[in-house]
Structure 1
Amino acid sequence: MALYAAGFSEYACQLTGLNNSSWIGKAISIAIVILVVFINVLGSKQVARAQTAIIALGLIILIAFIGFRLAQAYVPLITTADKGNGIIGILSAAGLLYVTYEGVGVVTNTAGNMKNPKKQLPIALFLSLIIVMLIYIIASAIVIMTIGVKVAVANQGHVLATAGEAVFGKVGMILIGLTALVATASAVNSTMFGDENLGIRIAKVD
């Protein structure tokens, strides 16, 4: 949750022009965690509604960006990419993949809120894995096609917003930045909700 909250703070500071390395950035990270805790205290129905709204908004903006950019993608930027950083690059990518797909494991912690977990849980797991994988692969390719590897690495803290700015200008940066904000907020929310349900399930076991 701290990692996702830090990502939320990164994009929030970029959108507002604040210094993320100052106490303001840390305060934003703490604030989003407190807000998520408050939402979870209200109950599972409120959490589900908030999560659905957050994901829907993020997907609409992200899919619009992907769809528009696919028609103008410049493929040679992918083929002229740098060779990478050897073993360090491999380990960094492995760590990133772990964080990226961590949410799939969180899905299992919501089994207690499903009417028929034996049927619904496997479907939820496989669908979430496929959908997330497709979106990440396409979005990553679009980013590289748009700004190239070097620019992506230089702006790795807010690379999606940088790509959005390259396509749509300032408006694109704001829209994609908002998408990243809701995505990181969603990650904080789902992690909190999953851990909460896991604790309840453990407490019920004799």
Structure 2
Amino acid sequence: MATQRPSNGRAGPPAGPRRMTVLQATFIGVGSMVGAGIFALLGSAGAVAGAAVWLSFLIAGLIAALQGYSFAKLGSTYPSGGGILTYLSKGFGEGHVTAIGAWLFYTAGSIVTAMVAASFGGYTSEAFAGDSPAWATVFSVLLVVVMTGLNAVGSQAVARVQSVIVKVVLAILSVFAVVTIANADWGLLSFSGYPGLQQIIASVALTFFAFLGFGVVTFTARDLPDPRRQLPRALYLAVGIATAIYVAVSLGVFGTLTAEQVVEYGETAIAEAAKPVLGDFGFTLIVVTAIFSTMGAVNAGLYPSIGMTQHLASIGLFPTVFSRSAGRVPVGLLVMAGLTIIQLFLLDLNAIASLGSAVALIVFSAVTIAHFRVRRETGANLPVLIVALATTVVTFVVFCTTTLVQQPRTAIALVLIIALAAVLDLAWTGVRARRQRASA
């Protein structure tokens, strides 16, 4: 059933019980951010910024906070299960720009979720099945199925499970950070060994990848009792917690290992950094953390698909089937899960690992541009919005000139997914026009 919009033109949150707390909404964002990214990023960021990676995370966190300000103002004015895609429609109208952005966000979201699920499969297989590729795929698919079932049960179940997962991850990473920083060799973190500002800025484009999930918090508006007040709090808390964890973990790792060792160890750098103080137990503990964090990221990755597709179907930008359910499973969630599983079998996800970064930066920039058009309604500060847009665009340009240049498959995939989004929009627009003519 389509959600009616109030007469003032603002899309209010749908009726019904909303029992998600600010902390639970925060944990959905934190769980989406603190996924496989922190494990995969340290090596690649270290190759560019050396021991100054903690500074790159801090700058990336500030950029995310600027975007968070924009999202918070929009979310408190237009609380909706459609999240940031509602904000696009408010700024650009319910036309092609919003529709293409929506299809782009939805399809890219399934790819990113598949990437995280594949990471979960790899870690779980290594821990329990001797690093078997076949078992890794089985574990990945099983996780997607389980998390789809959890999301179908309802947002309260999602929030409770996500809270448990995030608390475990934050607890272990906090212990890791405290122990490693207390025993750090501060000579390894000396400013004299840092590269130039250009290299540090270049690494920000990589570390910003770890913050992309904060946009998921905007989709919790439909489940918050008072989204106008609570959504901004959840956004700021999520970005703040993630930034603190990233900075602390990177200080601990680069205060224990040399930058060359971090680059060499790659995804296992955190586990290797735990060994000098915690021994083999520390290595195992970090592997367990990786398993939990990827679980949380998949859960959070699937979560927006319900509110997003139902909202877009209600305003005519997505096919009406997305407003329905197959049994107890909303169609939008079912399609997202299906796309994710298919990609686990068909795509070389490592070859397009940075696709999510590119798409998110494009969508975030578009949302901020849309915000300029409704700024009088939201009451947002113009200079802050300008800085938010400028930093995001600069990050995207640096990302294109560094990461995408070195990953041609990702660049090709980005072009293809934008083209696919445009084709899907044009196809549905044609179908909708024919139906309207037939019913006239």
Task: Tell me, yes or no, whether TM beats 0.5.
Answer: yes
Structure 2 residue 282 is the aligned partner of structure 1 residue 162: no
Name the residue aligned to 1:117: 227
CA distance in 2, matches of 1:182, 1:198: 25
Which of these residues, 182, 195, 199, is aligned with residue 305 of structure 2? 195
Once the two structures are TM-superposed, the CA of residue 81 in structure 1 deviates from its matched residue by 5.9
Structure 2 residue 5 is the aligned partner of structure 1 residue 5: no
Once the two structures are TM-superposed, the CA of residue 63 in structure 1 deviates from its matched residue by 1.0
Once the two structures are TM-superposed, the CA of residue 19 in structure 1 deviates from its matched residue by 2.5
Name the residue aligned to 2:175: 64
Native 8 Å contact 1:11 1:158 kept in 2:
no
Name the residue aligned to 1:106: 216
Query: Following superposition, which runs of at least 4 residues in structure 1 exceed 4 angstroms of deviation?
Result: 80-84, 89-93
CA distance in 1, matches of 2:289, 2:215: 23
1:62 maps to amino acid? L
Name the residue aligned to 1:172: 282
> Per-residue displacement from partner, 1:90-123 (whole Å, max 9, x unpaired)?
666514422x111110100111111111111111
Tell me, which stretches of 5 or more residues in structure 2 are unaligned? 1-112, 317-440
1:41 maps to amino acid? A
Name the residue aligned to 2:208: 97
SS at match of 2:257: helix
Native 8 Å contact 1:109 1:195 kept in 2:
no
TM-score, length of structure 2 as denominator length: 0.42
SS at match of 2:256: helix
Name the residue aligned to 2:93: none
> Per-residue displacement from partner, 1:141-163 (whole Å, max 9, x unpaired)?
11111122222212222322222
Which of these residues, 142, 164, 167, is aligned with residue 53 of structure 1? 164
1:152 maps to amino acid? V
Which of these residues, 147, 157, 169, is aligned with residue 257 of structure 2? 147
Native 8 Å contact 1:106 1:190 kept in 2:
yes
Name the residue aligned to 2:238: 128
Once the two structures are TM-superposed, the CA of residue 204 in structure 1 deviates from its matched residue by 3.6
Structure 2 residue 141 is the aligned partner of structure 1 residue 30: yes
Which of these residues, 155, 160, 164, is aligned with residue 44 of structure 1? 155
Equivalent residues, number: 202
Q: 1:159 to 1:29 in 2, by over 3 A?
A: farther
SS at match of 2:185: coil
Name the residue aligned to 1:138: 248
SS at match of 1:34: helix
Once the two structures are TM-superposed, the CA of residue 135 in structure 1 deviates from its matched residue by 0.9
Q: CA RMSD in A?
A: 2.4
Identity %: 30
Tell me, which stretches of 5 or more residues in structure 1 are unaligned? none
2:117 maps to amino acid? A
CA distance in 2, matches of 1:69, 1:95: 24
Q: 1:81 to 1:125 in 2, by over 3 A?
A: same
Q: Which has the larger radius of gyration?
A: 2
CA distance in 2, matches of 1:32, 1:137: 29
